[in-house]
Amino acid sequence: VSDEAYGDQRLWSAVGWGGMAFMAGYLVDAFGVASIFFSYAALVLVNVLVIGVWMPRMPRPSSEVLGDSRQTTSTAAWLKSMGSFKALWMLTNLLVYGILTALVESFLNVFIMQDFANPPKVLLGAATAVMCAFEIPVFKYVGHLWTSGRTSLIDVLVAAELVLALRCVLYAIIPRGQPWMILLVEPLHGFT
């Protein structure tokens, strides 16, 4: 068990994702799409080796540690709690944020390839690498934001959604002959 905060651990995912996205763009330009699958297989084998050699074996927790699993919430109580304003606001927020995120995360590469003049594949990887690079400081320092008490969860969620909407507008107005300008928008990903 580590005493590191979630953000301190999660930032390494951003490093790996961003680094590999950039590398994948280069590999596709240099060797074709099949190179992604070969590199994925090789990296999975390396990961399995690392897990097998260096991952510590954790003892199974005793039943005392697990607690009494018979404590359950009734369906009626759960449904009542889900009908509260806070729960409905959270679910609505997740829906809206999911819609905005789908526009960017799922279709950005399609948008780049279809709407810009001859973009290199490395741009796709570079865009993801820049997004991930700007996640790193956010994950590293977000814990300080929560513990300071100066910012509420609602403030952070609203700001993130507004910045994500701004990203969508900025993508739409980038001149079609300048696909590399996408990289100027990608730093905003860290805040969304």
The span from the CA of 129 to the CA of 18, in Å, is 4
- How many C-beta neighbours within 10 Å does residue 28 have? 18
Percent of the chain with pLDDT over 90: 24
Q: Over the stretch 31-46, which tens digit does the pLDDT of each residue have?
A: 998 888 888 888 889 8
Distances (CA, A) of 110 to 65, 100, 169: 48, 16, 16
At residue 59, the 3 state secondary structure works out as: coil
Specify the residue for token string 């304003």. Answer: 85
- Number of residues that make up the chain: 192
Percent of the chain with pLDDT over 70: 90
The span from the CA of 107 to the CA of 93, in Å, is 21
Distance of CA 103 to the CA centre of its chain: 14
**Torsion sign across C-alpha atoms 7, 9, 13, 15:** positive
Reading the block at residue 1, the tokens are 């068990």
The span from the CA of 8 to the CA of 14, in Å, is 11
Asked if 192 and 167 count as a contact pair (C-beta separation under 8 A), the reply is yes
The span from the CA of 133 to the CA of 174, in Å, is 21
Predicted TM-score (pTM) of the model is: 0.66
Distance of CA 51 to the CA centre of its chain: 23
Asked if 133 and 188 count as a contact pair (C-beta separation under 8 A), the reply is no
Distances (CA, A) of 66 to 47, 57, 69: 30, 18, 7
Q: Over the stretch 83-141, which tens digit does the pLDDT of each residue have?
A: 888 888 888 888 878 877 877 888 899 999 999 988 998 999 899 999 988 988 888 88
Q: Over the stretch 6-60, which tens digit does the pLDDT of each residue have?
A: 777 777 888 888 888 888 888 888 999 888 888 888 888 988 888 888 877 767 6
Give the residue with greater pLDDT, 59 vs 67.
59
